[in-house]
Chain A
């Protein structure tokens, strides 16, 4: 003990002296890295020479821009280090802790949030009118809820069981295509297609599970990624069945207990005696996906408290210990894959019904990546965190489309939606620096003896694969 404390003193004294110079050094290094990166992509730009007679390419040099970027890099790094150094010395910097909110306010926030969610479509209609509300219900409400549901589904595999799955979108695709095919070929109604899509996706989940059982970490990730691509390529190339790139169109829309959402005497609006509006269907879809997401939520909550859910988490913590306790890790992993896939399949069936048209374009790897980022950003294993992350990421990209006024600032060629991926990436980096274990990293115990205590994320493992 004595030795370490003496050493600590020496370290603090040294740190005070060398803190700034170390920060400056690190800043210089950051600037150097930026210089290296800028050299090929920023420093030179080719431009079509339209004014000259030759019309050839002209090479512009942009060293000023490079210098500015390097300076920004230097100062950002320098300030970051210098400030965090000071905070560390002052002892106020506790990384990864939010201000703790009293229980009562949490409860109030929870119920108002829930009420707002339930009233959301009607609020929107009241605020923006029936036609103005369409965008808000569809692009924001429904779109976000789909991703919330997908995030929760993937959360079972990645967050609870600790199995890194980069091909989750495959199950979304299986659900969408199986329900679309069943509906168009056999005329099954949506309410029959929905469970069938879930079952198909679950079966595919088991099918994927078998070959990857022995894989961990990177290998598991690569194989699941490949699986996702295989499914997509099959959808593209099996033209007879799936229509290839053209996809499947004319998927029948679900009806409201037999009442179709259409204009005319036998439609939903006529039956209720209200004027027809396309927003009715969207409101219906909103509550439908809300119900499906709620189902995912409650089933997952339930499963976590059952032996199977505890075994998933134990598997994430230590697979070898699980086996020594008699847990069949094969069936435990397979159930995680299949139940996660099943919810993906439900979401897929909903997606097909909502769009009325599906094509392989909707099931690219980027989708898997987005869903996985939602889970990671939300905090692996945390349901609320995943929902917040989905709202922020999907809602955020939609909001970018709404920022038309920025054109006034940056010129008419400026389209904020094009910066989506850039902002996305920056947000990701920022999150991983500030809260490396996601928005909500604490784990709630699944069973308690005396009192409920959250478990700090520092103890919780992320799984090996």
Chain B
């Protein structure tokens, strides 16, 4: 942490996070920060607890202990945070954003209110719905409001039609960015694997997140797809102002695009620094030695426990 020099408060702070499953301590007193407008990578051998961290951040697991703070308001001070924590409330919004205590919030509010969205290690698209529908469902809350909680929509209100038109435009814009406009009306389950990965990212982006959490987005991609993905992620950071937290095994991806790397092993943080320092960190090298490829593959499909 000493290496990180933040200009403002961090966007996300994970503080003393512990997650136990019965006797198994999957995450042990883990603390790290995610910088604003940056790409942070979370790496570590299989079973280190990376997906579990994601599940805690996005509310799919209630952490055993610890605090997870999202500050979309960059000016929120530690005093504000302390007061919010004492009140027992879940979040406090201001004109510049808000402060959210994610460990207290249910999963869907973390996406709809705190604006933290994720993708899954095993892709979770709505396979029986079209590509476009996938992107429109992601704008559910906006559209729900526009449809007057269904009442105005049933009556065919103009304001709703316009809102839906905007939603389709936004979806189309994303389809152009991931180069899938031609397949907009095909079932998502028909897409090749690499396209499904990108569609899942576009779908998450349709919720207008401030923080996008990607669980192994490059897994199973070929080198070309992988470099396309890098470009997409950098573009998201640059143009959409969305910060990214990603889990990745592919060191080349990590080294190329991330600004900051956190390394986990057995649920503990063993390093937290810039990519080039991580590369030469003896603890990291030791952790990665002896991790065979087959081990990766064998466990990969099992690890998405949500």
- Chain A residue nearest to B146 (CB atoms) is A307
- Chain B residue nearest to A462 (CB atoms) is B128
Q: Is the beta-carbon distance between A324 and B58 smaller than 8 angstroms?
A: yes
Q: Is the beta-carbon distance between A450 and B154 smaller than 8 angstroms?
A: no
Q: Is the beta-carbon distance between B133 and A453 smaller than 8 angstroms?
A: no
Annotate A372-407 by CB proximity to B: 1 below 8 A, 0 otherwise: 000000000000000000000000000000000000
B132 contacts A by Cβ under 8 Å: yes
Find the residue from A327, A449, A455, A461 having the highest chain B CB count within 10 A.
Answer: A449
A317 contacts B by Cβ under 8 Å: yes
Annotate B200-215 by CB proximity to A: 1 below 8 A, 0 otherwise: 0001100100000000
A26 contacts B by Cβ under 8 Å: no
| Known A-B contacts A317-B127, A461-B128; A326 and B112 likewise in contact (beta carbons under 8 Å) | yes
Q: Is the beta-carbon distance between A460 and B128 smaller than 8 angstroms?
A: yes
Q: Is the beta-carbon distance between B144 and A307 smaller than 8 angstroms?
A: yes
Q: Is the beta-carbon distance between B126 and A314 smaller than 8 angstroms?
A: yes
B100 contacts A by Cβ under 8 Å: no
A311 contacts B by Cβ under 8 Å: yes
Q: Is the beta-carbon distance between A321 and B124 smaller than 8 angstroms?
A: yes
A379–B125 alpha-carbon span in the complex (Å): 22
Contacts of B186 in A (CB 8 A): 453
Q: Is the beta-carbon distance between B125 and A318 smaller than 8 angstroms?
A: yes
Find the residue from A307, A308, A313, A314 having the highest chain B CB count within 10 A.
Answer: A307
B185 contacts A by Cβ under 8 Å: yes
B184 contacts A by Cβ under 8 Å: yes
A307–B154 alpha-carbon span in the complex (Å): 11
Find the residue from B128, B147, B188 having the highest chain A CB count within 10 A.
Answer: B128
Q: Is the beta-carbon distance between A459 and B190 smaller than 8 angstroms?
A: yes
Contacts of A184 in B (CB 8 A): none
Annotate B101-127 by CB proximity to A: 1 below 8 A, 0 otherwise: 000000111011000011010001111
Q: Is the beta-carbon distance between B127 and A451 smaller than 8 angstroms?
A: no
- Chain A residue nearest to B107 (CB atoms) is A323
The segment out of A42-50, A137-145, A298-306, A358-366 that lies at the interface is A298-306
Contacts of B306 in A (CB 8 A): 320
A445 contacts B by Cβ under 8 Å: yes
Contacts of B107 in A (CB 8 A): 323-324
A460–B126 alpha-carbon span in the complex (Å): 8
- Chain B residue nearest to A311 (CB atoms) is B140
B16 contacts A by Cβ under 8 Å: no
Contacts of A21 in B (CB 8 A): none
B2 → chain A, closest Cβ, in Å? Answer: 34
B232 contacts A by Cβ under 8 Å: no
Q: Is the beta-carbon distance between A447 and B168 smaller than 8 angstroms?
A: yes
Q: Is the beta-carbon distance between A325 and B133 smaller than 8 angstroms?
A: no
Which residues B143-173 have CB closer than 8 A to chain A? Answer: 143-144, 147, 150, 153-154, 164, 168, 171-172
Q: Is the beta-carbon distance between A306 and B184 smaller than 8 angstroms?
A: no
A149 → chain B, closest Cβ, in Å? Answer: 18
Q: Is the beta-carbon distance between A310 and B125 smaller than 8 angstroms?
A: no
A107 → chain B, closest Cβ, in Å? Answer: 21
Q: Is the beta-carbon distance between B147 and A307 smaller than 8 angstroms?
A: yes
A249 contacts B by Cβ under 8 Å: no
Contacts of A6 in B (CB 8 A): none
Contacts of B127 in A (CB 8 A): 317, 459-461
Q: Is the beta-carbon distance between B185 and A317 smaller than 8 angstroms?
A: no
Q: Is the beta-carbon distance between A327 and B137 smaller than 8 angstroms?
A: yes
Other 18 A-B pairs with CB < 8 A, given A310-B140, A452-B185: A303-B150, A303-B154, A307-B140, A308-B147, A311-B144, A317-B128, A320-B60, A321-B124, A324-B120, A325-B204, A326-B108, A445-B133, A446-B129, A447-B132, A449-B171, A449-B185, A455-B187, A459-B187
12 contacts across the A-B interface (CB closer than 8 A): A302-B154, A310-B133, A321-B124, A324-B60, A325-B111, A326-B140, A443-B128, A446-B129, A447-B168, A448-B184, A449-B132, A459-B188
